[in-house]
Chains A and B, each alone.
Chain A
């Protein structure tokens, strides 16, 4: 009887252990193997990595969890890869004699799973996947699949689309990367900043996919955010990629993540900044953000991530001071000069209302003319509240009809009812 109980506990523990290991180790195995085989054999690398976890899933419940599970996984992956290479070599030497002569390397079946090679391979894989020759959606999809070990269904859920769409998207992206003969390697030092740019964009989109996702599933959303932060952390741990803008992005994500618990209700409904329970803001994550923002303040380049991280820093300050809003306004002024986005334009106008008053902000808001954007009408509704409630109501109604999700409609309805 007792034995059965122990086994049950062990089983439950493994059920947690394997998915956790999958999250962190899958990408390492795929990256190392893919680097060894070349990107054209990425599917084989994925198969071997997947197979390795299947073996663990089948063996551990009966034989027990090995003392060093990670080393066990590497070993199994290594053997599977060696078998594959040997089979391949035998095939090649029988079928194509020239190959045997021209590429003596093909007999080399050693797989390098040293920490150094694992780290390098993962980062190089990141650069390969975030290659500007494929679309941003494809870059995120591939990152989720290869770097984060997400299942096709999880990716489809995150994008609110079907498994077929995701499968097609990933297939096409891999094909394109093969055709372009993308290598798994570090860009040259002089190219680093330029090549980092799409990598950081993908990481931030991945984060936003979780943070602003329309998906109501809180766990999936949080998981996406943490994966993005993990990838960014890896970039800060390598001396060539530990650039100020990378630290700024990491700081930005820490500051945002600090409000994760406060901004979503139990049912995944969005709670607006003003209505959040500030005691739920995670001070540990805020101070980590501060640490990386400090680290980002080297060099003389101010990236959009520096500006956004500094705005996010001010948003972690609870006190509604003039200093806070003046700083936020100037940061948005600067950010919009670097890169326009409707959301930055709307947030700038909100900050302006806090600094120069609602009347002034209404004049500025009406110049924005974002007439297909429900946030635009929400802002106008907010600004007119207390000044012209009739006007406020009609703007909120416009926002209501443009809002895309039920959760947003609910939030807007509450505003209308209050007037």
Chain B
């Protein structure tokens, strides 16, 4: 069994939704993670705050972050166990950030002793 990162790319929810709507999304996210954990496939994960982010470039150039297009910003990730990238993608389908048009989930295998990392 391999480990995959499911990376959430989406708009900052706080800018477009009410606290009540945020609450609902939070619950849905927890249910999504709970469902994966109930299958004993959850490894770890965290959300990332949109506030107080910086982007650092060569020559000590620091600008306010986060990085990337509005809807392609990384909002968090979880790491899951899966037999294949297809199974991992199946888990990603359930993530509530996909309710937002333009948002996406990126599925990446965790590199472990593959010689390239």
A330: Cβ under 8 A from any B Cβ: yes
Q: Is the CB of A367 within 8 A of B34?
A: no
Selected interface stretch from B4-12, B35-43, B66-74: B35-43
Choice from B27, B31, B33, B39 contacting A367 with Cβ under 8 Å? B39
B30: Cβ under 8 A from any A Cβ: yes
Find the B residue at minimum CB distance from A333: B34
Q: Is the CB of B38 within 8 A of A349?
A: yes
A328 to B31 Cα, complex, angstroms: 12
A368 to B41 Cα, complex, angstroms: 10
Q: Is the CB of B33 within 8 A of A337?
A: yes
Find the A residue at minimum CB distance from B32: A333
For window 311-361 of A, CB contacts with B under 8 Å fall at 326, 329-330, 332-334, 336-337, 340, 344-345, 348-349, 352
A-chain residues with CB within 8 Å of residue B27 when the two chains form the complex? 326, 330
Nearest-neighbour CB distance to chain B for A116, whole angstroms, equals 44
A364: Cβ under 8 A from any B Cβ: yes
Q: Is the CB of B30 within 8 A of A330?
A: yes
Find the B residue at minimum CB distance from A352: B31
Choice from B30, B35, B42 contacting A364 with Cβ under 8 Å? B35
Q: Is the CB of B31 within 8 A of A336?
A: no
Find the B residue at minimum CB distance from A326: B27
Determine which residue in B30, B33, B35 has the highest number of CB atoms from chain A within 10 A of its CB, and name it: B35
Q: Is the CB of B30 within 8 A of A336?
A: no
Find the B residue at minimum CB distance from A341: B40
Q: Is the CB of A337 within 8 A of B37?
A: yes
Choice from A329, A337, A368, A369 contacting B31 with Cβ under 8 Å? A329
Instruction: Provide the main secondary structure of the chain A interface.
Output: helix
Given the known interface contacts A329-B31, A330-B27, A330-B30, the answer about A345 and B42 at a Cβ–Cβ threshold of 8 Å is no
Nearest-neighbour CB distance to chain B for A334, whole angstroms, equals 7
Nearest-neighbour CB distance to chain B for A47, whole angstroms, equals 47
A-chain residues with CB within 8 Å of residue B34 when the two chains form the complex? 329-330, 332-334, 336-337, 348
Q: Is the CB of A345 within 8 A of B30?
A: no
Nearest-neighbour CB distance to chain A for B78, whole angstroms, equals 9
Nearest-neighbour CB distance to chain B for A363, whole angstroms, equals 9
A336 to B38 Cα, complex, angstroms: 6
For window 37-73 of B, CB contacts with A under 8 Å fall at 37-40, 42
Please, what's the 1-or-0 string for A358-387, where 1 marks a CB less than 8 Å from any CB in chain B?
000000100111000000000000000000
Q: Is the CB of A340 within 8 A of B33?
A: no
Nearest-neighbour CB distance to chain A for B83, whole angstroms, equals 13
Contacts beyond the supplied A333-B34, A340-B40: 16 A-B pairs with Cβ under 8 Å? A326-B27, A330-B27, A330-B34, A332-B38, A336-B34, A336-B37, A336-B42, A337-B34, A340-B42, A345-B37, A345-B38, A345-B39, A345-B40, A348-B38, A364-B35, A367-B39
Closest 6 CB pairs of A and B: A333-B34, A336-B37, A345-B38, A340-B40, A333-B30, A337-B37
Can you report 9 A-B residue pairs in the complex whose CB atoms are below 8 A from each other?
Answer: A330-B30, A333-B33, A336-B42, A337-B33, A337-B34, A340-B37, A344-B38, A364-B38, A367-B39
